[in-house]
Structure 1
Amino acid sequence: GDQFDAHPNPQPGNTNGWVDDDDDDVEKEILLNLTRMERDKAERRLSESIRWNK
């Protein structure tokens, strides 16, 4: 039982899990920002084409 006191997370990968999660979050944020930018561009293109058609 003493060995668990020194190692609260004995499972392999627990210490690295945090780093991986952070990396995933950063990638997700970048992807979200990209899709948001693309959406803005698409909306601008749409509103411009609507203006031209009037």
Structure 2
Amino acid sequence: VQNIGQASITANIFGMIGSLAIAAIEDGTECITDDAVESWEPAFTAEPAFA
């Protein structure tokens, strides 16, 4: 179960980086700033698969 949790966290981090990169390209900054990371919110809310 611990490995599943770690994989989920890793997937969420990669998802966040991907979303930030897409947003940066779309708005022309092409740079992930600290402000962008701090203000980032997921595109959708999902319940954790394992609590």
Q: TM-score, normalised by structure 2?
A: 0.55
What are structure 1's unaligned runs of at least 5 residues?
1-24
User: Does residue 32 in structure 1 map to residue 8 in structure 2?
Assistant: yes
Greater fraction helix: 1
What are structure 2's unaligned runs of at least 5 residues?
30-51
1:1-41 Cα distance to aligned partner (Å, 9 max, x none): xxxxxxxxxxxxxxxxxxxxxxxx10000000000000000
State percent identity of aligned pairs: 0
By relative contact order (CA 8 Å, sep 6+), the higher-ranking structure is 2
Corresponding residue of 1:14: none
Q: TM-score, normalised by structure 1?
A: 0.52
User: Does residue 48 in structure 1 map to residue 42 in structure 2?
Assistant: no
Q: What is the aligned length?
A: 29
CA RMSD for the aligned pairs? 1.4
